[in-house]
């Protein structure tokens, strides 16, 4: 078993400081998707850049002086991308991965504004440095930046502080930093981020701040300047989040303790492991009864779970084969219902099905660190399953499928509070969906359907307007 995932992970760490980095691979089958050697060399170069420019290095201090000067400067050795959290943990992890890829493509150093609720979740991914933004960073209240802030790219364009067609602009005439507002409520001018011209201007700004709740990687494929690099780094396009998440996200020892204790207690001995990730969203309501029936209909139709059968005799049991089903949800009702059903009845195949659920937190509490630790632990536990059923629209499920490298069966969203038919669809790829992509063709200067333009980008199974790589 290669602990360092065939060179994806740097050997320059101390094992005890982050056990998950070395032990996680033992909990799942080796990934059939090998990363390119080009990606590995880009990662090693990035790590060297991060070490040179990272917090507390002389070059970082030089860049902080530039930031305080109020304008950009042409010849800085280090340029930065500062990420701030927004929305739930799944959203956050998708945007960290997207921001990291953008940093790789633009030779920037990625720093994270780690709020208290994100403490003790992830190990440092880059050796001999930190990705945590120092607390004395001169721009305060990063989380308050929003659509209306004057520093958004869109507002700078609107107020003519930046002229997007002026690709020859001198860096000195540009602001010291620009805030990229890529949240789902973003408007046309902020969406111009996905245009080549605009990227040429943004390349001259030394500090970019970013806040998003979306996996915006598919949008980077519409930028012709990144096309070759993306192709070399990821010849298999549907593996981008798979490789990036395995590279970036290593639960800290505290979270790893939760993961391993649970895995050994409830999952390790089963012949087969299935994960069912259940998430209902306020904007698409559905009752617990109807959603439970939809989950079972999907599992039975797709032969993921055996149906229950009253008539089979005990002697027909299938050699004692066991399947364990890991249920994750904020509620316990789904788990209770399925567990009782398979406790009270025999299965048609004779298989023994057991159910477990690590937590039922009732409500989302992203502001609580211990709540986020449980969420992270459950994403990882789901990623150790052989088969996944996930809830449409949920970024929580995208994380599990991406780390696992699995194409899940996606529970489609209800319509008018009724279960859809079919209840679920197999995902075309393991990539997450970009929920609100732009719809502007920068070259043609008109609105188009970006789900129809590139060969390897399609609309998502669960979000009609969304796009994903496959």
Q: Is 49 or 89 the residue whose CB approaches ligand GDP more closely?
A: 89
d(CA 325, CA 353): 7
Phi, psi dihedral angles at 104 (to 5 degrees): -60, -45
Return the structure tokens found at 257. 């303790």
Residues 90 and 241: beta-carbon distance below 8 Å: no
Q: Does 279 participate in binding ligand GDP (rule CB under 6 A)? A: yes
Query: Which residues 6+ apart lie within 8 Å of 458 measured at CB?
Result: 428, 451, 467, 468, 470
> Residues 75 to 104: which contact ligand GDP by CB under 6 A?
87-91
d(CA 470, CA 458): 8
As measured in angstroms, the least distance from the Cβ of 393 to ligand GDP is 7
As measured in angstroms, the least distance from the Cβ of 354 to ligand GDP is 18
d(CA 357, CA 190): 41
**Selected binder of ligand GDP within 351, 378, 431, 461 (CB under 6 A):** 378
- Candidates 96-104, 169-177, 359-367, 461-469 — which segment interacts with ligand GDP by CB under 6 A? 359-367
d(CA 117, CA 371): 9
DSSP H or E stretch at residue 467: strand 467-469
Phi, psi dihedral angles at 35 (to 5 degrees): -80, 155
Cα–chain-centroid distance for residue 106?
A: 20
> Residues 155 to 184: which contact ligand GDP by CB under 6 A?
none
Residues 461 and 393: beta-carbon distance below 8 Å: no
Report which DSSP code applies to 456.
Answer: T
- Candidates 28-36, 99-107, 135-143, 356-364 — which segment interacts with ligand GDP by CB under 6 A? 356-364
Q: How many chain residues interact with ligand GDP (CB under 6 A)? A: 21
As measured in angstroms, the least distance from the Cβ of 359 to ligand GDP is 5
Residue 325 pairs in a beta bridge with: 274, 355
> Residues 296 to 335: which contact ligand GDP by CB under 6 A?
328-330
**Selected binder of ligand GDP within 295, 375, 424, 460 (CB under 6 A):** 375
As measured in angstroms, the least distance from the Cβ of 396 to ligand GDP is 4
As measured in angstroms, the least distance from the Cβ of 371 to ligand GDP is 6
As measured in angstroms, the least distance from the Cβ of 375 to ligand GDP is 4
Q: Is 156 or 215 the residue whose CB approaches ligand GDP more closely?
A: 215
- Candidates 12-20, 222-230, 235-243, 391-399 — which segment interacts with ligand GDP by CB under 6 A? 391-399
Return the structure tokens found at 384. 């150790």
Q: Is 118 or 240 the residue whose CB approaches ligand GDP more closely?
A: 118
Phi, psi dihedral angles at 344 (to 5 degrees): -85, -20
Q: Does 280 participate in binding ligand GDP (rule CB under 6 A)? A: no
As measured in angstroms, the least distance from the Cβ of 94 to ligand GDP is 8
Q: Does 395 participate in binding ligand GDP (rule CB under 6 A)? A: yes
**Selected binder of ligand GDP within 394, 401, 413, 436 (CB under 6 A):** 394
Q: CA torsion angle for 71, 74, 77, 79 (degrees, to 10)?
A: 50
Residue whose Cβ sits closest to ligand GDP: 88
- Candidates 70-78, 260-268, 317-325, 361-369 — which segment interacts with ligand GDP by CB under 6 A? 361-369
**How would you write 278-324 as a 3-class SS string?**
CCCECCECCCHHHHHHHHHHHHHHCCCCCCEECCCCHHHCCCCCEEE
Beta-strand pair 446-447/440-441:
antiparallel
d(CA 32, CA 249): 19
**Selected binder of ligand GDP within 42, 371, 425, 458 (CB under 6 A):** 371
As measured in angstroms, the least distance from the Cβ of 355 to ligand GDP is 14
**Selected binder of ligand GDP within 272, 361, 386, 441 (CB under 6 A):** 361
Residues 163 and 202: beta-carbon distance below 8 Å: no
* Binding residues for ligand GDP (CB under 6 A): 87-91, 279, 328-330, 359, 361, 364, 366, 371-372, 374-375, 378, 394-396
């Amino acid at each position: 078993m290669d602990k360092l995932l065939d060179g994806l992970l740097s050997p320059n760490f101390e094992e005890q400081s982050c056990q998950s980095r070395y032990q996680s691979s033992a909990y799942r089958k080796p990934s059939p998707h090998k990363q390119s050697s080009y990606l590995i060399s880009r990662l090693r170069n990035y790590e060297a850049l991060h070490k040179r420019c990272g917090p507390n290095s002389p070059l970082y201090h030089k860049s902080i002086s530039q930031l305080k000067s109020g304008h950009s400067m042409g010849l800085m050795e280090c340029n930065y991308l500062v990420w701030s959290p927004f929305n739930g943990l799944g959203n956050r992890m998708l945007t960290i991965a997207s921001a990291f890829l953008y940093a790789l493509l633009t030779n920037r150093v990625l720093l994270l504004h780690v709020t208290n609720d994100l403490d003790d979740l992830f190990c440092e991914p880059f050796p001999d440095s930190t990705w945590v933004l120092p607390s004395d960073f001169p721009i305060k209240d990063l989380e308050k930046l929003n659509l209306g802030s004057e520093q958004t790219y869109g507002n700078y364009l609107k107020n003519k502080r930046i002229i997007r067609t002026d690709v020859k602009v001198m860096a000195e005439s540009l602001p010291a930093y620009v805030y990229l507002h890529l949240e789902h409520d973003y408007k046309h001018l902020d969406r111009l981020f996905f245009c080549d011209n605009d990227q040429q201007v943004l390349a001259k700004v030394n500090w970019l701040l970013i806040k998003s709740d979306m996996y915006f990687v598919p949008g980077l494929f519409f930028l012709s300047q990144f096309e070759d690099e993306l192709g070399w780094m990821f010849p298999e396009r549907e593996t981008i989040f798979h490789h990036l998440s395995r590279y970036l996200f290593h639960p800290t020892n505290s979270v790893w303790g939760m993961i391993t204790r649970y895995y050994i207690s409830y999952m390790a001995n089963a012949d087969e492991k299935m994960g069912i990730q259940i998430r209902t969203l306020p904007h698409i309501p559905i009752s617990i009864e109807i959603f439970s029936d939809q989950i079972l209909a999907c599992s039975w139709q797709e032969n993921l779970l055996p149906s229950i059968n009253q008539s089979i005799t005990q002697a027909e049991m299938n050699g004692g084969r066991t399947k364990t089903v890991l249920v994750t949800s904020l509620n316990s009702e789904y788990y209770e219902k399925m567990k009782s059903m398979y406790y009270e009845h025999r299965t048609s195949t004779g298989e023994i099905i057991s159910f477990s659920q690590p937590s039922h937190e009732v409500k989302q509490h992203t502001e609580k660190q211990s709540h986020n630790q449980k969420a992270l632990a459950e994403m990882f536990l789901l990623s150790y399953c052989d088969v996944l059923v996930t809830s449409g629209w949920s970024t929580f499920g995208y994380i599990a499928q991406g780390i696992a490298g699995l194409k899940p069966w996606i529970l489609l969203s209800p319509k008018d509070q009724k279960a859809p038919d079919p209840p679920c669809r197999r995902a075309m790829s393991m990539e997450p969906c970009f929920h609100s992509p732009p719809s502007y063709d920068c070259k043609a200067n008109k609105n188009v359907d970006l789900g129809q333009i590139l060969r390897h980008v399609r609309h998502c199974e669960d979000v009609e307007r969304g796009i994903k790589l496959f």
